[in-house]
Every structure is written in C-alpha cells, then in structure tokens.
Amino acid sequence: MRLSVNNFRVLRDETIDFAPITILYGRNGAGKSSLIYALLTLREIITNPAQSLDALFNYGFINLGSFANVVSDHASGSQMTFVLSLTPKDLGRDSPHAEALQDYSSASLAVILTENAELTLLLVLIDRSDHALASLTVRTTLPYSLGQIETASGTFPGVGPVSIEWNGVTAKVATEVPNVDMLRLTELQTFINFPSTVLAHVRAVPLRRGFTRPQYSLTPMSPNPRTEDEIATLIANDRYLQGRISSYLERIIGRDFRVDTTPGSPFFSLDTLQRESGLLTEVVNEGYGLNQLVDLLALSLTTQNAVVSVEEPEIHLHPTAVRRLSLAFLEIARTQKKVFLISTHSEAMIVALLAAVAQGNAAPDDIAIYYVNDSGGTRFERQSIDSSGQLRGGLRSFMEAEMEDVTAFLSPRKGELEAGLS
C-alpha cells in the first residue's frame, strides 16, 4: 500500500509505503499529522463526494478549514493531489483473489483538487509490465452528483474486453464476451474497487479523552463513528468487541473491561474492574491514559476498520504500558490483517517494536519507520530495519536530544573549571 501526497499542508511531494505497522516520528510541527489528515481527506472524497470542497477537511474531531487554509503555502491557483496504490499482495495471503490477480501490478486511485472545487478522479489498473490496462477519468465539481456515470474500457488477462462504469464511489465491470469466466470477472471488479474499499474503512484515533460521562444510551450510528456516544454504542452492541477490549486492556494496563446495563432503564455504563480488589469503576472515573486506551482499542479492534491512524498513543501512558501497547499493535495487525499508521514522540514505543524484531516476534517488513525531517522542508525518510532489530541511522531526533543532555552533564561547570586551573 502506497500513498502519495502533493501540496497538502507541509507535504509538497511525499510518498510513503505502508507496512502493517507504519511509524512516523520527528519534531513537533514536522508534518506527521499532515500525512494522517491527507489520508482522511482522500477517504472523505471517495466515501462522500456529495459534499462541499471545504467539508472535506472536517474530520469530526478537527476542522482544518478551507482549501486556502490547507493548500501548501496557501498558494492561490495551486492544486492538491492524492494517490493511493495497492497491489494484489495487499489483499492478504488468505484472500481467495490474491493468487488470481497476479497478472496485475497495482490498482491506483488518484484525486486532484483545485480551489474552484474542481475534482479530477483517475482509476488506473497496471499490469506486470507497468502498462495501463485501463484508465478511467472523471472530471466534475464538488458536490459530486452520485447519479453521474463515467465509463471506460480495457482488455484484461483472462477476461478480455470489458467496460467499466464509475459512479463516484464504486466501479462496475461488465463484458459482452460470451462464456466469460464470471469468477475471474468478479476478482477483477474486486481489485478495481480495492482502493475505494480500503479508504471506506480508514479510521482515525485522535488525541482525546475517550469518554466523559458515567452513563450512555444507544444512539444512531453513522457509517464513520466519530462521537463518544457512537463509540460507546459500538461497544455496547458488540459483546465480542467487549471481550477483545477487555483482553488487551488487561494485558496492557491490568484492568478488565465490561459494559453494565442499568436494570429497568435504557442506560449503560462502561466500567473497568480491578481483579485484586474487586473494585468496579466507570471509565470516566479512571485516569486519562486508561480512558484513552478504551477508545483506542475499540476503534483498533472493530473488525470493519482496515486502516487505523493513531496520533501519539503514548500520551498519558507509563513507559511499561507504551511497550505493551506496541506489542498489542503488532498482534492486532497480524491477527486481524490491519494496517496501523502511528505518529509518535515515544522512544519506548519504537524500541519495543525493534526489540520484537530482534526477538523473532516480528519480521523487519512488518514495520516501516519514517523519520519526518523538516530541515529545509518536510521529507519522509524511511529507515531500514535488519533482522536483529537494528535501525539504520538510529533514532535521530531522540539521539540529538540525548546527546545534548549528555554533553551538558559531562561538561565541567564553570566554578569547577576555575578551581581546577588554580
């Protein structure tokens, strides 16, 4: 999975390749959050194009403003570009379609936005020889009418000539070839829609206290749950999710989790249990770190969420809990076939992931670590990891700070220096 972004906030022309765990680290203001917001913007375009241009930058937990606020350098006349590319391998080894799609190199979805609300959308399928087998282009303005149909044609291995219809959200593939292999046609349609499908299941876990009340009631759910009432309802409606949250919360911070319904009322509470003391406590009355963990685990463990973006999950957590959370991310990514995009300032988190590689509990390819270098403009620099968990170039921003402290600590004080000279 690859994401390219052009002219969005500080991201002038950046591309990153995702691993199951993708880590962004660097100084404050370097551009880590911008990548997360770029992915959310692309999601908004594809899942809900029938909205205004400026609404694309409102993600529920934060509103970045207008196109002029968000475009790089606030430059008039500029355009933004977002490209998401996926390969058959991204479907997963267990997918019944992955092997059948080996004739294809990638399916890419590109979006170009202008300040005049002009939208250009390109859907491209590439073969193993890097030739475009089909390219569908939609040119329109926002809000986009979902009744608008664009068509393209192409010839595909094992299928033959096909027509592709795009309604702004999904593509439909059809052919007039007699006796066509319908399974092959279905696999092709699955792959063409793969970028849109992935984007529809992108979720963000922002920096926030997850739950602020002792009781909740069931509330209507939106396709992209954002509010704490929706998250509470999501948990209350899925007892299997409750069990998964409890399992990981116990491992990370030593608490059981449960949902308790008030008899004779429509209300329920989100509670934790201390096993040693038997004390039952509402999540709102727990510390910030535990409260935040329940919210994070709920969104991370929801089966439908395929890509989970998390901003600084280490906030308010003890280093031991940070380490355990890092291992939880690895396990969830592996067992539930998820991708995590995590921005962090935690050395403990990165070291825990590298230690998992060194101990053979993760492969180097399971983790992508990017140093976000903002010296002379934002650049995402991927650092390679070897089989022993060594990170090429080291933890750069952390090392610089530590060296400053060591230098200051070892430098002789002025009075001591003068005494030594006398």
What burial class does residue 93 get, using C-beta atoms within 10 Å of its C-beta: 0-12 exposed, 13-18 middle, 19+ buried? exposed
Q: Is 228 helix (H, G, I), strand (E, B) or coil?
A: helix
Look at residue 198 in the predicted model and tell me its pLDDT. 93
The ranges assigned to domains in the chain are 1-201+306-422, 209-303
Among the listed residues 82, 2, 8, the one whose alpha carbon sits nearest the alpha carbon of residue 42: 82
Look at residue 111 in the predicted model and tell me its pLDDT. 94
| DSSP strands (E only) in 366-410 | 367-373, 379-383
Kind of pairing between the strands at 267-273 and 216-217: antiparallel
Q: How many Å from the N-terminal Cα to the C-terminal Cα in the chain?
A: 66
Look at residue 208 in the predicted model and tell me its pLDDT. 83
Indicate the helix (H) or strand (E) that contains 150: strand 150-156
Look at residue 406 in the predicted model and tell me its pLDDT. 56
Q: Which CATH number fits domain 1-201+306-422: 3.30.1490, 3.30.70, 2.60.40, 3.40.50?
A: 3.40.50
292, 297, 302, 308: CA torsion to nearest 10: 80
Structure tokens at 195: 């970028």
| Model-wide pTM > 0.85 | yes
Alpha helices per DSSP H over 140-226: 182-192, 194-200
The whole-angstrom separation of Cα 417 and Cα 421 is 6
Residue 166: C-alpha distances to residues 123, 173, 231, 405 (Å)? 9, 9, 32, 57
Look at residue 215 in the predicted model and tell me its pLDDT. 95
- The DSSP output letter for 413 is P
Look at residue 348 in the predicted model and tell me its pLDDT. 94
Q: Is 41 helix (H, G, I), strand (E, B) or coil?
A: helix
The whole-angstrom separation of Cα 121 and Cα 383 is 32
Look at residue 103 in the predicted model and tell me its pLDDT. 80
Look at residue 209 in the predicted model and tell me its pLDDT. 85
Instruction: Chunk the chain into consecutive blocks of 10 residues (it has 422) and report each block's average pLDDT, rounded to whole numbers.
Output: 96 96 94 96 91 93 94 92 93 70 87 93 86 82 80 82 83 86 85 91 90 95 88 95 97 95 91 90 95 96 94 94 97 95 96 96 96 91 95 79 59 58 56
Inter-axis angle of helices 239-253 and 228-236, to 10 degrees? 110
